[in-house]
């Protein structure tokens, strides 16, 4: 094998988009309570969640209504996390899009195996710029 073929092979490998092993997708039942114009609406639906990064790094949590993440409900940044045992813990995420925009907080607990989150549950409170808000209780498991 010539050096040119080896270099070309390495370049091709480097050009292929890599999927981060630190990205995990989850789905679960979301129970919504929406408060819009003084009216309470309740519904249940499947929601999809994507966690980018490992727990010990800066992490974001994206919550969407579809598995392709085209209809995003919120994208939040991890505020803090702590382990309560070798296989469980708690975390919090915050979204602050600035003045006159959306604000959200997600607080939950998780189960993990070998430092990988296997499932989690929590509550998202999302306040929208128009004054309406959602409270979403989520129980999620990793997608396979």
DSSP class per residue in 43-71 = EEEEEEEEEES-TTS--EEEEESSTTS-S
Quick check: 20 pLDDT over 70? no
44-96 per-position pLDDT tens digit: 889 999 998 777 776 899 999 899 999 988 899 999 999 999 999 999 999 98
Q: CA torsion sign, 62 to 70 to 132 to 40?
A: negative
Enclosing H/E stretch for 89: strand 88-96
3-state secondary structure of 13: helix
Give the pTM: 0.76
Average pLDDT of the segment spanning 99-113: 90
pLDDT attached to residue 102: 86
Provide the CATH number for the domain formed by 22-142 in this structure. Answer: 2.40.128
Enclosing H/E stretch for 40: strand 39-52
User: CA-CA distance, 62 to 69, in Å (whole number)?
Assistant: 8
Question: Can you give the residue ranges of every domain in the chain?
Answer: 22-142
Enclosing H/E stretch for 83: strand 72-85
User: CA-CA distance, 2 to 89, in Å (whole number)?
Assistant: 52
Which range among 2-11, 83-92, 109-118 shows the weakest confidence by mean pLDDT? 2-11
**pLDDT above 90: percentage of residues in the chain:** 37
Contacts of 37 (CB under 8 A, 6+ apart): 132
Average pLDDT, the chain: 80
User: CA-CA distance, 68 to 55, in Å (whole number)?
Assistant: 23
3-state secondary structure of 5: helix
Quick check: 7 pLDDT over 90? no
């Amino acid at each position: 094998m010539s050096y040119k073929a080896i270099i070309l092979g390495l370049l091709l490998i480097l050009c292929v988009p890599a999927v981060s092993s630190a990205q995990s997708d989850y789905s679960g039942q979301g129970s919504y309570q929406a408060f819009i114009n003084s009216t309470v609406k309740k519904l249940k639906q499947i929601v999809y969640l994507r966690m980018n990064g490992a727990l010990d790094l800066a992490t974001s949590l994206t919550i969407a209504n579809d598995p392709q993440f085209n209809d995003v409900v919120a994208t939040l940044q991890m505020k803090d996390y702590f382990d309560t045992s070798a296989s469980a813990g708690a975390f919090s995420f915050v979204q602050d899009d600035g003045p006159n925009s959306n604000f959200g907080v997600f607080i939950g607990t998780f189960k993990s195996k070998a430092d990988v989150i296997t499932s989690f549950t929590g509550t998202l409170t999302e306040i929208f710029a128009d004054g309406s808000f959602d409270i979403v209780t989520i129980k999620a498991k990793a997608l396979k």
